[in-house]
Amino acid sequence: MVDIDIQTRPTPRAGIMKISAYVPGKSKAPAGVKLYKLSSNETPFGPSPKAIEAYLSLGSKLELYPDGASISLRLALAKQFGIDLDNIICGAGSDELLSFLAYTYLNAGDEGIFTEHGFLVYKIAILAAGGTPVMVKETNFTADVDSILAAVTPRTKMVFLANPNNPTGTYVPFQEITRLHKGLRPDIMLILDGAYAEYVECADYDCGLQLALASQNVVMTRTFSKIYGLASLRLGWMVAPSPIIDAINRIRGPFNVNGAAMLAGIAAIEDQDHMSRALTHNTYWLPKITDALNGLGLKVTPSVANFVLVHFALEGKKAATYADHFLTERGVIIRAVGAYGLPDALRLTIGSDEANEKLIDVLTDFMRN
């Protein structure tokens, strides 16, 4: 008689319980204290008024299912970026698309590479798909192409690369991206996460859109959550070769993007003036905050995104945990990044004029105490 191992309850698939659940940034200040939320890299400009109007227009039609293929949104993206409709797929945030890629292309034991301080969702997606996460060390808080290539094994199937990276704000020049791509086997997928691409103004930066169109193993993901200000609607998109789009569509839910998000996304794309104002604001404040905090004796990792990583390599009550508490008590809510392997750092979003001035003032007081 064969012994049967009878479980007393349903058991998660191998790898699931190795996942540390993603914990969002704080969003509340102490009672009676004005809130300055700088923890989630949200735009201080909010969404375009045209996007709000488009969102509200759906209020009397909520009983209707949305377009299951997001055709109107994909057409708007195709027109804006000059690409073919068939190379675009949309999702409930770029996070969903990243997970779809892992579920579709990773078998049990296949390896997915990500960098030391890369976005936490990469590891989650790899483990959830039954794959093996492989973390690669960075150099000066920046992805290192040689280290990534050295980590490739016969089991490697994916490389996740946020460019710019969250939470460090650093980026990899496009010349290095192309060198990375050329160094990978054709069966290894290179996933370029461009969530903050709209903020970058460096001449040697490229989001990788054309590389994705010209290659069979490169995809580029983008989001409406950051500069477009639609984080609450969860809307993302991806450019990929048609075989990858076809494969993802086979597991994608038939109505994975809601109708309000699609309408707001189309209006947001069309209102480039609103996006330009947000970019101009960020271009002004990013170096100003960086210089101010460096001047206080803090170390700021140079950033090209809409946030900065601030290091509190100080003793005792000048450590990051004390700074976090000090800021929170005064209504300035920022992001602890210990889960990213950065226990001595905090990530601070570029906020409104008032919020940025408040941030500088509070950190000035902190460093003086």
d(CA 113, CA 25): 25
Residue 4 resides in a domain: no
Same domain, residue pair 262 and 310? no
d(CA 38, CA 107): 38
Counting the structural domains of the chain, the total is 2
What CATH number does residue 29 fall under?
A: 3.90.1150.10
The predicted structure's pLDDT at residue 313: 74
Strand partners of residue 337? 342
d(CA 182, CA 175): 11
For residue 95, count CB atoms less than 10 angstroms from its CB and return exposed for 0-12, middle for 13-18, buried for 19 or more: buried
Domain boundary among 246, 271, 296: 271
Residue 2 resides in a domain: no
Neighbours of 150 (CB within 10 A): 11
CA 276 to chain centre: 20
Domain boundary among 225, 250, 271: 271
Residue 314 resides in a domain: yes
Containing structural domain, residue 108: 49-271
The predicted structure's pLDDT at residue 18: 80
The predicted structure's pLDDT at residue 38: 97
Same domain, residue pair 55 and 156? yes
Same domain, residue pair 104 and 217? yes
Same domain, residue pair 109 and 213? yes
> What one-letter code names the amino acid at 77?
L
pLDDT per residue of the chain (369 residues) written in tens, 0 to 9: 555 666 788 877 777 878 777 777 766 777 787 999 999 999 999 999 999 999 999 999 999 999 999 999 999 999 999 999 999 999 999 999 999 999 999 999 999 999 999 999 999 999 999 999 999 999 999 999 999 999 999 999 999 999 999 999 999 999 999 999 999 999 999 999 999 999 999 999 999 999 999 999 999 999 999 999 999 999 999 999 999 999 999 999 999 999 999 999 999 999 999 999 999 999 999 999 999 999 999 999 999 999 999 999 766 667 999 999 999 999 999 999 999 999 999 999 999 999 999 999 999 999 987
Domain boundary among 202, 236, 271: 271
Same domain, residue pair 259 and 327? no
The predicted structure's pLDDT at residue 322: 92
d(CA 99, CA 356): 34
The predicted structure's pLDDT at residue 28: 73
Residue 168 resides in a domain: yes
What CATH number does residue 63 fall under?
A: 3.40.640.10
Same domain, residue pair 235 and 249? yes
Same domain, residue pair 164 and 38? no
Residue 207 resides in a domain: yes
Residue 230 resides in a domain: yes
